[in-house]
Structures are given as C-alpha cells and as structure tokens.
Structure 1
Amino acid sequence: MTDADRPAAKVLVVEDDRELGPLLLRLFRGAGYEPDLAPDGQAGLHLALTRRYDAMILDRGLPAIEGLDLLGRLRRSGFTAPVLVLTALGTVTDRVTGLDSGAEDYLVKPFEVDELLARVRALLRRRSDAGERLAVGAGTFDLIARTVSGPDGSVVALSGRESDLLRLLAMNPARAFTREELLGQVFPEGSSVALVDTYVHYLRRKLGAAAVSTVRGVGYRLGRR
C-alpha cells in the first residue's frame, strides 16, 4: 500500500491555550491529518478512550486532569498511540519525567512548526513500521489493509467496525473487556451493548468461532492461540 492509499492519520491535540489549540488544528489539517482538539484533560481522556487515534499532542499544564496524569491513565487503559508532549516545561528533569511517564517524544514551547511536523511524521513512521500487523490466533491482522491473513494463504477482508473491534482486542490480548467498554471505545454512538454482540458474531463468522473468546461474567477478549 502506497502512502497515497493510506487513510489520513488521526491526531488528538490536548491543549488548553485558546489561541494555540485552534492554531494546531489548522496546522495539522493543512499537513493532511485529521485532528481533534480537547481543551482540557477530562475531554482528552474521553476522546482518547472513545475514538481511535494514530498520535497525540499533549500539553502538561492542563485543567481538570494534568497532562502527565492523563498520559498515565491512558497507558493503563491500553492507549497505545504515540504521544508527543508539547509544553513550556523544558528542564532536563521535566523532559526525563515526561518520557518516563510514557511519552515517545518531548518538544518545548516555543517551537518551530517544521520541527513539530517532522517529529509527528517520525512518530507515525515508527508506529507504521512496528505496528501495522498484529497476531490474531495463527493469522496476521493487517491494520492498514483491514485484512486477516491465515497460514494457508487465505485473506479475509474486514469492515471498518469489525477492524476497529479486532484491533482493540488484538492490541490488548491479555485483557478481557466488558461489553460496555467495547461499546464505548469502538461504537461510541451506539446505544445498546447488543451492537457489540453483533460485531463479535460477525468476526467469529469470518475468522472462526475461536477468534473472540467469551469470558463468563466479564465480556470478551481475543481468542487464545
């Protein structure tokens, strides 16, 4: 798949500055990304857990939930998108703390636009190189093409929602999700957990009954190999 064929990367900007936030939105749109803006930590937490993002730009001095506290909560919840901390806090100790808290990169304000965009491209490139494929049972799940390839050479195409559901399960293979969690993270506009059951059925029909395991009293998890 060529770069021209890839869907636009989705970037979450968590920034409370009323001028800088909209400026970053325009900057990322102009660079070909699909950005969302969260004006505080609570909004950032909600968006990050209910939508899929390829990268996050995160300020530290946020209202509601401080930036590194937000990052810690997201990492513990299974959020795996690369994070670039963009902040005025620029001492060596600040940088080390940010990176040790789970960020992949750290850039101090004021910043050069070209450098910010270059760092985001590097984050996305590393994520693409390392994370386009995930193991699903004996098969391989291509996150970009939305296909599952079997050891016998078979290829199964998934819909967007099927792919989003399998992606969440495959990126957290040891975790069992409740139906409510899956509804909120994969189908945020859905009103009933029956929607989750429907898409689990679709995945099992396409990939086999063992693709998704039912965990009694909890919900669903990736099928065991």
Structure 2
Amino acid sequence: MYFRATLRKSECGAVSAQEVNGMSLGVRVAETSEIRQSADILMKASISWQPNNGTHNKSSLENFVSHLRKFMCKPRDSKITGNFSCRLCPQNWSLHENKCYWVSKERRTWHKGKEDCTAKLSHMVVIQNQEEVAFIQSITDGAQLLWIGLEATFPEKKWTWIDGSPLDDKLFQDLGPVETNCCGRLNGDQLISEVCSTIAAWICETKALLI
C-alpha cells in the first residue's frame, strides 16, 4: 500500500520570502500532575545518569523506578499480580509502540521546528510504517499540515530522514525530482514536498522510557 505523495515544483528550489506510554498487558495512564511530573523527572534522570556516578545514585534511581511502577504500570487483567514494566512518555506527549510523539501548536519553518525538537531532547518524526502514519493522523485529526524529519540532501540528491535513512518508496510514493531547499510535510496520509522556509506545525518523537 502506498501513501500519496506530491511535489510542488514551483516552490522547491527557491527561497521563500515568507518567514516562514506501553507494555504487552497494558498501561494505566496516571491522571495526577504529580505522577506525570515524576515521569518527566525520571526521563531526564535516565538520560543524564551514568554508571560511574556511583552505586548510591543507581540505587536511588532504581527505587524511584520501582515507586513509579506501582502507580503507572498496571495489567489490563486485574487478576494478574506482580511488578510489571511499562513505557512512559513526558507530560503532554502521546505514546505509540515504543515512541512518544509531541505535536506543536505553533507554526515555524522546518529548521526552527527541528531546533525545537532537539531542545526537547527529541527529533522530528521519522515515519517507519503505515501504522505510524495512522497513529499520527489519530492525534492530529488527520487535518494538520506537519513538518516531519524528511529533507532533500545534496550532493546526493535524495530524500533522506534526519536519522540518515532513505525514504522508503514502499511506504510513500516517489516525491519526484529532488530540489534544493525542500523538506517533507505530512497532510493526513499525503506526503508533500515543500520549501523549507514555509511555516507549519511540526511533530517531534523520542524513545519511550521503559520502567
């Protein structure tokens, strides 16, 4: 199955003047802001923690993880007991499989959106399968034009995701000739080639934290 893709040749190649949470058994979403804030703290702590920080820090982090599991990791079947693991996302992010997604409310250029994702310790979304496209549609009502982590690279003249992987022509149809100053936008299930300095909302992704 292909998702539609279109190329706007008149816009690409020219600079625009416009400034322009889950485990297999399930997970219970905590409603209290305190628990959500704790999850944010844990996400940051897991990134900054290093093994040589000492056994005390490691023990404290493990205790904190165990505490969070009691509140956030619950099986769908209430008859099942035990200490279960689950995946967590930062506050206001949406969990799908092993990734967390955040959709902006602002509109910026592709490069500004990329910078914002980096500041959030994440990166622009890299779409890997049809299920991911469907999920993004579900959290954006399928109507919002979104910058994604796809750009035209030179001198290779290829469409490349920001993680270095090529655009899968089995997932999206060919966008056509690669032009300078072009980036990828998602409009529902349609992939659009657009001048990078156009303003639009954007979507970030980061790996969900397994606790």
**TM-score by structure 1 length?**
0.26
The higher radius of gyration belongs to 2
**TM-score by structure 2 length?**
0.27
Higher fraction of helix:
1
Q: Which has the higher contact order (CA 8 A, sep 6+)?
A: 2
